[in-house]
C-alpha cells in the first residue's frame, strides 16, 4: 500500500465510481414502482420510494467527488512514487540525463476484493479506479522503465515491473493516437503500453499528452546518441 495522504477518503473515492450504479438501479426501481402501483398500490409505492432513495443517494455520491478530484488524486499518487521509481531503478537523480517522467497506462493487475470500474466524466473521458503507473528514468547509458498498477481507493500497488534498455538497443519509439498506444522497439521486440485497453475507454487527455511528450523526448535522446 502506498504511503500518501490524498484529499478524499477511500469511501469517497469508492462512491465516485459506485454512484452511477445506484442511479441506474434507482431509476429502474422508480419506474417499476410507478408501473406496479397500478397493480398493487401499496407495493408499487414502496418500490418507488426505494428507487427514489437510491437515486437521491446516487446523486449525492457522484457530486461529493468531482472529475478534477480524481485527476488530482492520480497526479498526487504519481508524484509520490518518484523516489520509489529511482530507488528501484538503482539510479540517483544526479546520474540521469534528464528528470524522470511518468504517464498512466491501462491497468494489468487487480485485487480480488475490488473490481475494476470506470466512469465517463463530463469531458467524455474515462476515469478508472485502477491504473498502471509507468515511469521513464533516463540513465546515461540506459532507459529504465518502471511500472506498477495502483488502485485509487485503497492505494494498493501491484508488484513492481522493471525493464532496462541500453540506448544502443532502442531503435524507435512512437505514440499511436488512433490506437492510444505507446510502443518502444528494442532489439527486434516491441514493448507496448496501451492507454485505453481493449475497451477503448480513453483516459483523460493529460495522459495522452504526457505519453506523446515522452515519446518525443526519447526520440530526441536517440538522435543525440546516434549523432555523437
Got the DSSP string for 12-59? HHHHHHHHHHHHHHHHHHHHHHHHHTTT-HHHHHHHHHHHHHHHHHHH
Strand partners, 204: none
Q: What is the mean pLDDT of residues 130-156?
A: 96
- Residue 184 in any domain: the answer is yes
- Residue 2 in any domain: the answer is no
DSSP 122: T
- Domain boundary residue among 30, 46, 64? 64
- Residue 163 in any domain: the answer is yes
Same domain, 190 and 208: yes
Work out the pLDDT band at 228, boundaries 50, 70, 90. Answer: confident
Same domain, 211 and 165: yes
Work out the pLDDT band at 27, boundaries 50, 70, 90. Answer: confident
Residue 132 pLDDT exceeds 80? yes
- Residue 1 in any domain: the answer is no
Work out the pLDDT band at 63, boundaries 50, 70, 90. Answer: low
Same domain, 52 and 80: no
Q: Which range marks the domain in which residue 41 is found? A: 10-64
44-58, 61-75, 80-94, 169-183: the lowest-pLDDT one: 44-58
- Domain boundary residue among 23, 48, 64? 64
Nearest to 162 by CA among 140, 196, 131, 135: 135
Same domain, 190 and 103: yes
Same domain, 81 and 182: yes
- Residue 56 in any domain: the answer is yes
- Residue 3 in any domain: the answer is no
Same domain, 213 and 152: yes
- Residue 133 in any domain: the answer is yes
* Average pLDDT across the chain, whole number: 87
Share of the chain above pLDDT 70, in %: 92
Same domain, 98 and 42: no
Q: What is the mean pLDDT of residues 181-199?
A: 87
Question: Quick one: which H or E segment has residue 138?
Answer: strand 130-139
The reported pLDDT for the residue numbered 21 is 65
- Residue 4 in any domain: the answer is no
Same domain, 201 and 216: yes
Q: Into how many domains does the chain fold?
A: 2
Same domain, 22 and 107: no
Share of the chain above pLDDT 90, in %: 54
Same domain, 15 and 50: yes
Same domain, 110 and 219: yes
Q: What is the mean pLDDT of residues 76-88?
A: 95
Same domain, 96 and 110: yes
Specify which of 61-65, 168-172, 203-207 reaches the highest per-range mean pLDDT.
168-172
Residue 49 pLDDT exceeds 80? no
Distance in angstroms (rounded) separating the CA atoms of residues 201 and 195: 9
Amino acid at each position: 500500500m502506498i504511503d500518501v495522504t490524498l484529499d478524499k477518503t477511500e469511501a469517497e473515492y469508492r462512491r465516485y465510481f459506485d454512484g452511477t450504479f445506484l442511479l441506474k438501479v434507482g431509476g429502474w426501481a422508480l419506474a417499476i414502482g410507478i408501473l406496479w402501483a397500478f397493480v398493487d398500490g401499496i407495493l408499487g409505492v414502496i418500490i418507488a420510494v426505494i428507487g427514489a432513495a437510491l437515486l437521491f443517494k446516487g446523486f449525492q455520491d457522484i457530486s461529493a467527488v468531482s472529475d478534477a478530484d480524481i485527476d488530482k488524486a492520480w497526479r498526487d499518487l504519481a508524484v509520490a512514487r518518484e523516489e520509489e521509481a529511482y530507488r528501484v531503478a538503482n539510479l540517483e537523480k544526479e546520474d540521469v540525463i534528464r528528470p524522470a517522467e511518468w504517464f498512466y497506462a491501462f491497468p494489468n493487475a487487480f485485487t480480488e476484493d475490488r473490481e475494476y470500474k470506470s466512469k465517463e466524466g463530463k469531458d467524455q473521458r474515462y476515469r478508472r479506479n485502477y491504473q498502471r503507473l509507468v515511469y521513464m528514468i533516463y540513465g546515461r547509458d540506459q532507459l529504465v522503465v518502471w511500472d506498477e498498477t495502483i488502485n485509487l481507493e485503497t492505494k494498493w500497488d501491484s508488484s513492481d515491473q522493471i525493464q532496462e534498455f541500453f540506448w544502443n538497443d532502442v531503435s524507435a519509439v512512437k505514440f499511436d493516437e488512433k490506437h492510444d498506444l505507446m510502443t518502444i522497439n528494442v532489439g527486434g521486440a516491441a514493448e507496448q503500453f496501451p492507454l485505453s485497453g481493449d475497451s477503448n475507454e480513453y483516459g483523460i487527455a493529460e495522459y495522452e499528452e504526457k505519453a506523446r511528450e515522452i515519446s518525443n523526448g526519447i526520440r530526441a535522446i536517440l538522435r543525440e546518441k546516434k549523432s555523437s
